[in-house]
Amino acid sequence: MKLYVANWKMNKTRTEARAFAGELGARIGARADRVELVLAPPFTALDAALDPAGRWALAGQNLGSEGFGAYTGEVSGHMLAEAGCRYVIVGHSERRRLFGEDGSLLARKLARAREANLIPIYCVGETEEERDRGSTDSVLERQAGTLSQDPPRSPLVVAYEPVWAIGTGRAATPEDAAAARARLAGLLSARADLRLLYGGSVTADNAAELLRVSEMDGFLVGGASLDAESFARIAGLGQRS
């Protein structure tokens, strides 16, 4: 089953999240059993984005690297799980780049996610400079190495998100996404339950071709997930039922 994750980043109030959930529910009707949908709203809108009918799951966009305690501003894995999350995004490039999150911190976050029974959606991807230098493969290898302590039999989602493609309108070519998919599948061949996603300027117009050629298991979608119709179309649930 393909997996489509909506990463809203720092967008949508509770009121806006409720409106989105209502519209998405109306669009997909009862048909969401053909695909797996996940919404990753801001923490404050988790309950507003929850579907009582269970047609989509929730993800946190981030979690604290410690279990609990005096860490002002942090939200723990257990808090996310109790708030209804099944997944949590770990190591998004915006966290790495803007908030200085590195491999050792991310390894601790992965461990906290597992303690809370959350499935990590672990993000990897090279910057434009790294790509121009020809170091895409070594970057993916280093970032995948952060998973070395993560239990290999537990379900894991890894999203390949080239930094130069995020929010730029310049998606990777389907062939580049296919190459990254093959590379990551090789690096993570010991994993028993792995799904690989592509992320970076996915839209309703490029999704079908990207998915077909890259053979990815789905997408992590930013900008185009803010609109319920656009997100439903990306997931192949275009027509109102």
Q: Site size for ligand PGA, by CB under 6 A?
A: 13
> Shortest distance, CB of residue 59 to ligand PGA, whole angstroms?
11
Q: By CB under 6 A, which span of 15-23, 45-53, 176-184, 198-206 interacts with ligand PGA?
A: 198-206
What token pair was written down for 195? Answer: 């799904």
Residues 108-119, buried b or exposed e (16+ Cβ, 10 A)? Answer: ebbbbbbebebb
Residues recognised as catalytic: 92, 161
Q: How far apart are alpha carbons 100 and 120 in whole angstroms?
A: 19
200 near ligand PGA, judged by CB under 6 A? yes
- Cβ–Cβ contacts within 10 Å for residue 158, how many? 28
Contact between 161 and ligand PGA per CB under 6 A: yes
- Which span (25-33, 107-115, 190-198, 199-207) binds ligand PGA, by CB under 6 A? 199-207
- Alpha carbon distances (Å) from 23 to 26, 31, 60: 5, 14, 21
Q: Is 126 a binder of ligand PGA (CB under 6 A)?
A: no
Q: Please report, as residue ranges, which positions from 3 to 62 form the binding site for ligand PGA (by CB under 6 A).
A: 7
In 3D, which of 174, 169, 171 has the Cα closest to residue 161?
A: 171
Task: Say whether residue 174 binds ligand PGA (CB under 6 A).
Answer: no
Q: Which stretch binds ligand PGA (CB under 6 A): 65-73, 104-112, 133-141, 221-229?
A: 221-229
Contacts of 80 by beta carbon, 8 Å cutoff, 6+ apart: 43, 46, 60, 63, 88, 116, 118
Question: Which residue, chain included where needed, has tokens 């609109």?
Answer: 227
Looking at 59, 221, 235, 237, which residue binds ligand PGA (CB under 6 A)? 221
Q: How far is the CB of 10 from ligand PGA (least distance, A)?
A: 12
Interface pick for ligand PGA out of 88, 107, 157, 220 (rule CB under 6 A) = 220
Quick one: which H or E segment has residue 233? helix 228-234
Nearer to ligand PGA, 64 or 91 (CB): 91
Contact status: 222 vs ligand PGA (CB under 6 A): yes
Which residue stretches of 83-172 are H helix?
Answer: 93-98, 103-115, 128-132, 136-145
Nearer to ligand PGA, 154 or 203 (CB): 203
By CB under 6 A, name the binding residues for ligand PGA: 7, 161, 166-167, 199-202, 220-224
